[in-house]
Amino acid sequence: MTFPEYRFILFEKKENYAKITINRPEVMNALNLEVRKEIIAALSSVEREDQVRAIVVTGAREKAFSAGADISMFQTMTPLLATEYLKTSKGAAEKIENYPNRRGIRACNVM
């Protein structure tokens, strides 16, 4: 299977696991709307592949796994964008929480 190129995450599929690296080290891997959408897309791309038994989520560089929400975008957020952000945030969290039982998110390098 060919995976799309992502702008804010690095996605690798190994023999029996996949790895998502949040790749925004300049802002301590803060999660903006696009990062959340890319995480959902990456998880969706492998959730039906039986050979992928685990997912590893990590952050680029050693300084931070993720600072959390990218609050810089909140300053200029319109009501429409805020609604999309909240739906996408919930969707990303649910995708991680409800990942198929035979597999799961098995490692995060939270410091």
pLDDT for position 66: 86
pLDDT for position 1: 52
At 39, is the secondary structure helix, strand, or coil? helix
What residues in the chain have per-residue pLDDT under 70?
A: 1-3, 100-111
pLDDT for position 101: 54
Q: Indicate the CATH number for domain 9-108.
A: 3.90.226.10
Q: What is the DSSP letter of 103?
A: S
pLDDT for position 111: 47
**Contact predicate 1/45, CB 8 Å:** yes
pTM (two decimals): 0.82
